[in-house]
Chain A
Amino acid sequence: AQKVTQAQTEISVVEKEDVTLDCVYETRDTTYYLFWYKQPPSGELVFLIRRNSFDEQNEISGRYSWNFQKSTSSFNFTITASQVVDSAVYFCALSEASYNTDKLIFGTGTRLQVFP
C-alpha cells in the first residue's frame, strides 16, 4: 500500500533560519511521482514541485530546495532563509504513475510558523 509520512507536525523558526521538512514514503510501484504542496490560510493547495521516481537529482528553486533519496524513500524540502510569508502547512504527496489518475496520497502535513 502507498503511504506518505510527515513526522513533523509543527515547526517554528525565526525569520532567516533554514528549515527542513521531512517526507518519507512507501510504495511498491517502481514508477511514481512525488509532490510538495503549500496550503496557506486561504485553503487552496499551491503546487511547489513534482519529482518522478527516475530522477534523483536535487532541485533548487530560489530559496527552496528538494532532496530526493530513493535509498531511504525520502523527499525532503528545505527552505533557506525563511520568511514570514513561508508560514503555511506543507504537504508531501505521492501518486501512481502506472495509471492515468490524479489521485494523490497525501501526508498529514507539517505546519510551519515563521516568526519575525
Chain B
Amino acid sequence: KAGVTQTPRYLIKTRGQQVTLSCSPISGHRSVSWYQQTPGQGLQFLFEYFSETQRNKGNFPGRFSGRQFSNSRSEMNVSTLELGDSALYLCASSLAGVAGNTGELFFGEGSRLTVL
C-alpha cells in the first residue's frame, strides 16, 4: 500500500516567487491536511481538506492557500515568497478526517522549500 506522496521533495525559490506543492494521499483517504515545520516555530497546522472542502485553517496569511481535487489529491500554494517561508511542508492523510477516531494520521516525507 503506497504511502502519502509529496512532490517535489526539494525546491529552491527566490523571494517574491510563488510555489505549488503537491500531495497524493493514501488510496481511499479523503482527508488531507498540511503542516509547516520550521526550527523556530516547530510544527504548525496550515489547513485541512475533506471531500474538496476546506474544513479548518491555521493562523497563516492569505499568501498560503490550498485546494483538494475530486481524487483527494491536494495542492498548496504560497505566493510572494518570503525568506521566512523556508520550511519543511508536511502533508498528512486520514481515512475519515477524524484523527481521533481513525487513530492515525499518515504523513508524507515532506517538501523542503528554501527561499533565497
Contacts and interface: CB of A to CB of B under 8 A. Distances in A.
Contacts of A61: none
Contact of A91 (B43, B44, B110): B43
Given A44-B108, A44-B110, A50-B103, A100 B55 contact: yes
A102 B92 contact: yes
A104 interface: yes
Interface stretch (A67-75, A79-87, A105-113): A105-113
Interface of A: 32-33, 35, 37, 42-47, 50, 52, 91, 95, 97, 99-109
18 contacts: A37-B107, A43-B88, A43-B90, A44-B109, A45-B90, A45-B105, A47-B106, A52-B100, A100-B55, A100-B98, A102-B94, A102-B97, A103-B33, A103-B56, A104-B45, A104-B99, A106-B44, A107-B42
Interface of B: 3-4, 31, 33, 35, 42-45, 48, 50, 55-56, 58, 88, 90, 92, 94, 96-100, 103-110, 112
